[in-house]
Chain A
Amino acid sequence: MLGLLAVGSTAAALSAAPPIHPTAAVLTGGSDPGVWDTGLAAGFPWHRVRAQRGLRNGWTPFVETSAALLTRWRPAVGVSLPWINRVWRLSGEATLGWLEQGGTLSERGPSASLAMTMGRTRGVVLPYLHAGSEHTLHIDRVIIDTAAGDVIEDAPRHGWTLTGALGLGIALGGRWGLDVGLDLPWVNVPKVSLPGVHLGLQFGGAR
């Protein structure tokens, strides 16, 4: 995956472009070198917080936390890299995180994801599209009470969630912006998931 991400690093590094707006940076996966950008999105059922900082070679490491109904949490660290970086940008990103879901359908485990983001980086109206695949390792434990003592049996299980979103970002001045978006995840394929909506706020440009 890192090799795949690296395909675009040269092009990204070589492209001389005006500073990218924080809204575009957060929504399309990449900040200018040395620049901090942050995003906060609230909606139903998904919420998301993200902070990222651009590096010189085009890579943008980030930390983020997403939550569904404040019940299904996934904090993660990741890195993104623009593959195509012009007026429209195509980026790839990878994350490592931990899934923690409470409630009656509780589940948890380490997870990793790959995603692609496409969006417009110039102008006031910034449409974007996100698609990703998230994989979680669940361990189902059975504790069997036997006459000879407890026997513990662990069974690994793969959890697969497809992530998706599309929306419009609006640049408000140089450092602020917002977006409205439609969340289209497919949580724990093949179970049925409902779409969601969110309103996001972005702030950044700080060095």
Chain B
Amino acid sequence: MRWMALVSSLGIGCSSITNEKRVRIDGRIDTTDDLPGGVTYVSVHHAWLGEGLLRHPMAFIDATTVEQPGDLDVTFDIPMDAGGEGLVLYAWHDRDGDGVLCSIDGDRGERTGAVAVTPWPTYSATVELTLAVPCAGPETFAP
């Protein structure tokens, strides 16, 4: 593996070079319902990505989970080469624990919400997000 590290260290030997920015987002996620427990799915999206006919909002980047609505402290690596504009944090509370937002046979009242991470780009940001909209996908919150 030593020779591989040598080739790698030259830089010119890399097949691809991708630039990312690591952002730590802390703060709090609350929900308007009073049902306890359940996992909250948290994802980050480019507010807009692409050009012309391919331009679209809320382009998915990465996701994680937190135990339940409450304190938030997550870190994401955001691709910087694709030309994505803005950064939005989206979350939904999986009240019935089925891993699906508002599945047909599941809980149809699961709360969602999104908040823009500003300013962007940045290394850290603090957000306050209240999950108040039932069953809304990320695109619903396109800025």
Q: Which residues of A contact B (CB under 8 A)?
A: 106-110, 137-147, 151, 154, 156-157
Say whether, besides A110-B7, A154-B8, A144 and B14 are in contact (CB < 8 Å). no
Quick one: CB contact mask for B96-123 with A, threshold 8 Å, 1 for yes? 0000000000000000000000000001
- Besides A139-B8, A145-B22, 9 more A-B contacts (Cβ < 8 Å) are A110-B13, A137-B4, A138-B16, A140-B15, A140-B18, A141-B8, A141-B11, A143-B19, A147-B123
* Nearest-neighbor residue (CB-CB) of B123 within chain A: A147
Smallest CB–CB gap between A73 and chain B, Å?
14
Residues of A within 8 A of B16 (CB): 106-107, 138, 140-141
Smallest CB–CB gap between B120 and chain A, Å?
13
The A interface, classified by DSSP as helix, strand, loop or mixed, is: strand
Q: Complex formed: what's the CA distance from A144 to B17 in Å?
A: 11
The count of chain B contact residues (Cβ–Cβ below 8 Å) is: 20
Q: Which residues of B contact A (CB under 8 A)?
A: 4, 7-8, 11-22, 24, 77, 80, 123-124
Are A144 and B7 interface neighbours, CB within 8 A? no
Are A141 and B18 interface neighbours, CB within 8 A? yes
Q: Complex formed: what's the CA distance from A146 to B78 in Å?
A: 11
Are B15 and A144 interface neighbours, CB within 8 A? no
Are A146 and B22 interface neighbours, CB within 8 A? yes
Question: Ordered nearest first, which 10 A-B pairs have the shortest CB separation?
Answer: A138-B15, A147-B123, A107-B15, A146-B22, A141-B14, A145-B21, A144-B20, A154-B8, A142-B18, A140-B16
Residues of A within 8 A of B17 (CB): 141-143
Q: Which of A108, A138, A140, A151 contacts B22 (CB 8 A)?
A: A151
Residues of A within 8 A of B20 (CB): 142-145
Q: Complex formed: what's the CA distance from A145 to B8 in Å?
A: 19
Q: Complex formed: what's the CA distance from A137 to B13 in Å?
A: 10
Smallest CB–CB gap between B85 and chain A, Å?
18
Are B22 and A109 interface neighbours, CB within 8 A? no
Q: Complex formed: what's the CA distance from A144 to B123 in Å?
A: 11
Residues of B within 8 A of A139 (CB): 4, 7-8, 13-15
* Nearest-neighbor residue (CB-CB) of A146 within chain B: B22
Smallest CB–CB gap between A159 and chain B, Å?
8
Are A108 and B4 interface neighbours, CB within 8 A? no
Q: Complex formed: what's the CA distance from A141 to B80 in Å?
A: 14
Q: Complex formed: what's the CA distance from A156 to B8 in Å?
A: 9
Residues of A within 8 A of B15 (CB): 106-109, 138-140, 157
* Nearest-neighbor residue (CB-CB) of B79 within chain A: A142
